[in-house]
Structure 1
Amino acid sequence: MKKLLVGAFLFHSLFSYAQRNNDAAVFSDIKEKVKAYYVDPQAYKKVDSLFQSESKNESFTQLNKKDLAALLTQKLRTVIKDKHFFVKYLENYNHEKPINNKEREKSDNFHNSLENFGFEQVQRLEGNIGYINFKGFATVESSKKIVAATMDFVANTNSLIIDLRENGGGDNEMLLLFCSYFFDQKTELYTTYFRHTNQTVHNTTQSEVAGQKYLHKKIYILTSKKTFSAGEGLAYFLQQYKLAEIIGEKTGGAANPVKDFIIQNQYLLLVPAGKITASISHKNWNHTGVIPDQEVKAENALQTAHATALKNILQTDTKTELSIPEIKNLINTLEQ
């Protein structure tokens, strides 16, 4: 029995030693990626200090790899104050098979197609008000037909509600394409500076799009605490150019675009590698989030926006399928 106990203790000690050394390599790689790529060149010092303090009390080494990734995500976001940091354990990652970008894009497009490339619902609400429930930005190539069809569907409405309450972001080019439907001419929305290449990219809308543009009409954007990244960007830029009124909750506050890395053939690491600067405000929504024009609970945002749009119809004497008494009754119902 004594020999068994000694053997078990020795195995546990060796396992703990191996795990600590593996974690040390993971921590070192993450720190070096932050040092080389993150927009703030001094942020890696905070990461180094974090890993040194956490390694001493062994809070990292006692976790399984999935939980370690979740804790790393939370710690990096807290210490550096950037919500775009992300770590994920790759359980079935095959390091001997290089990632084929075409195959990955094909796979991503297939999975995005199962969710209609982010366009959850498109309809016409009472009062001839368009409604788009949009949950995420897939690639332009995969999405351009569906966004054109969506915008053609709402083209004849008097005003438009875009629901971004569950939009977690996605492709930057798709953000620019969707924004293009609300600008009558080519417009530079923002620049993106990448420190690791010392390059500045100018991001502009398109003068021409496949579907019908939605111009010179009221637009209302619904937001929540879950609205994130490119979802925030759509709200931010249309608000900045006074093209939309934001209704709902303050958004998550993640602006900077990311670069992805494989760490020790085990973890996916996303590092914010660029800094967005809006052309009109010379700022962005990082940390602060997008501040609503009408701040209401997320669950009440659609009713509030619908009522607001109907009130505007009354004020402007805009013709709809509803009579004035019907519009007033609908407003009372929505506000109850």
Structure 2
Amino acid sequence: MQNATHVIEAALDRLLAEYVFEEKATEVAAVVRTRLAEGAYEGLAGPEFCAAVTADLQQPTGDKHLRLLWSEEPQEVDGEEDEDFFAELARSENQGIRRVERLAGDVGYIDTTLVPEPGEGGPMISAALSLVANTKALILDLRSNRGGSTYGMSYWCSHLFPGGESLHLTDVYRRTTGLTQQFWTLPYLPGERYLDRPVYVLTGPVTFSGAEDLAYNLKVRGRATLVGETTRGGAHPTGYYPLSEHISVTVPYARSINAVTGGDWEGVGVVPDLAVPADQAFDVAYQDALERLAAGPAA
């Protein structure tokens, strides 16, 4: 239990120092310490321990980004954010590009699993879009996308909005610095943009974080039709901090402020334009695209 106590206190130290809502951090810490004193985590180990602590971390806030994570593979522990974790994950998942296809009826389809950093992931995103560059409509599948980089979200959006002048997408306010960072589309891209054609975005209960950011921006700007189920509801940029060889804590250190709405999707998710079960979203979007194309340019 001594090791569990050490891990929990290390997690709470990080939470109290960085969590985006300072007053909530104090409340969360009190809940978890009370549960620890009650013996709630005794006899638990590995993933079960992490799941139990995560439930108590999230109970006062509903913040799904606030978690203890178990890793089967040993990891280095240095007290700093592990920036290599996501980079390695993105490489293992082909920078989030799982499938690219040109469907019958001249409709492009891109299936994704995460939103990568543009440094490594940008060429893959541009390559995927180049394969569907000459289609007449596009379906972007985010149903299995667990999120990722705000920079990557901006890179995706840059391909779907005109160049020349940048478009202000969102701001990110960071508690620890008190600074707000702006995110804009890029005026120049190495590949073609996908413009003046219908775009459909498929969403579901797995769609999370950076993927929600992408869907949200495309929706509020009227650039895409969202089809599927409401997304999971995590809007806070998050750091990943190893606490032991097998346990890490993720702490939301910032919040998103959309340039159009002034708000975000935290706790409520992104609501689709066409609400259907997630497993039916592709069929509905594809049929709608075919009917829209058959009706002509004015549709």
> Counterpart amino acid of 1:280?
V
Contact 2:81-2:239 at 8 Å conserved across structures: no
Residues 48 and 113 of structure 1: CA distance in aligned 2, closer, same or farther (over 3 Å)? closer
The one-character-per-residue Cα deviations of 1:55-78 (angstroms, maximum 9, x if unpaired) are 243121221143211222222123
Which residue pairs with 2:75 in the alignment? 93
Structure label with greater radius of gyration: 1
Taking the TM superposition and a 5 Å limit, the aligned residue runs for 1:269-288 are 269-288=249-268
Residues 244, 317 of structure 1: alpha-carbon distance in 2 compared, 3 angstrom cutoff = closer
Residue 101 of structure 1 and its aligned partner are, at CA, apart by 7.0
Structure 1 length-normalised TM: 0.81
Contact 2:81 2:241 in 1 (8 A): no
- Partner of 1:334 in structure 2? none
**1:139 equivalent in alignment to 2:117:** yes
**Pair 1:124-2:98 in alignment:** no
With CA pairs under 8 Å and 6+ residues apart, which has the higher RCO, 1 or 2? 2
Which residue among 67, 83, 100 is the counterpart of 2:64? Answer: 83
Deviation at 1:171, TM superposition (A): 2.0
Q: Which moved more, 1:123-132 or 1:24-33?
A: 24-33
**Over residues 278-325 of structure 1, what are the superposed CA-to-partner deviations in whole Å (9 max), with x where a residue is unaligned?**
00000111111000000000111001001111121132269xxxxxxx
Find the residue that maps to 1:54 and give its secondary structure.
helix
- Distance in 2 of aligned mates of 1:206 and 1:181: 9
Q: 1:172 aligns with which of 127, 135, 150?
A: 150
Distance in 2 between the 1:288 and 1:308 partners? 26
Report Cα offsets for 1:30-88 as digits up to 9, x if no partner. 22222221111111232233123312431212211432112222221232211111212
Alignment: residue pair count: 295
CA spacing shift, 1:314–1:94, aligned 2, 3 Å? closer
| SS of residue matched to 2:181 | strand
Q: Indicate how the Cα distance of structure 1 residues 234 and 88 shifts in structure 2: closer, same or farther if over 3 A, else same.
A: same
> Are the counterparts in 1 of residues 198 and 224 from structure 2 also a CA contact under 8 Å?
yes
Q: 1:57-68 counterparts in 2 under 5 A? A: 57-68=38-49
Bigger shift: residues 238-247 or 52-61: 52-61
What is the alpha-carbon distance in structure 2 between the residues aligned to residue 56 and residue 317 of structure 1? Answer: 66
Give the distance between the partners of 1:276 and 1:98, measured in 2 at CA: 25
Verify the 8 A CA contact 1:32 1:44 in the aligned structure 2: no
Q: Secondary structure at the match of 2:250?
A: strand
Deviations 1:317-336 (A, max 9, x none): 69xxxxxxxxxxxxxxxxxx
Is the alpha carbon distance of 1:270 and 1:159 closer, same or farther for their aligned partners in structure 2, counting shifts above 3 Å? same
Matched, 1:218 2:167: no
Deviations, residues 121-142 of structure 1 (Å, cap 9, x unaligned): 1111121111111111222122
Q: Which runs of 5+ in 1 are unaligned?
A: 1-18, 319-336
Q: How many Å apart are 1:90 and its aligned residue?
A: 4.8
Residue by residue, what CA displacement relative to the aligned partner does 1:261-286 show, whole Å, maximum 9, x if unpaired? 23356531110000100000001111
Provide the rounded CA distance (Å) in 2 between the counterparts of 1:101 and 1:89: 14
What letter corresponds to residue 116 of structure 1 in structure 2? N
In the other structure, the counterpart of 2:18 is 37
SS of equivalent residue, structure 2 residue 205:
coil
Question: Residue 232 of structure 1: SS of its match in structure 2?
Answer: helix
Aligned residue number for residue 93 of structure 2: 115
* Amino acid corresponding to residue 43 of structure 2 in structure 1: Q
Which secondary structure state, in structure 2, belongs to the residue aligned with residue 231 of structure 1?
A: helix
Structure 1 counterpart of 2:243, one-letter code: I
Q: Structure 2 counterpart of 1:146, which letter?
A: M
| 1:191 equivalent in alignment to 2:167 | no
1:22 matched to 2:3:
yes
For residue 136 of structure 2, what is the aligned residue in structure 1?
158
Give the partner amino acid of 2:53.
L
Structure 1 43/265 Cα, relative in aligned 2: closer, same or farther at 3 Å?
farther
Percent identical across equivalent pairs? 27
User: Which residue pairs with 2:127 in the alignment?
Assistant: 149
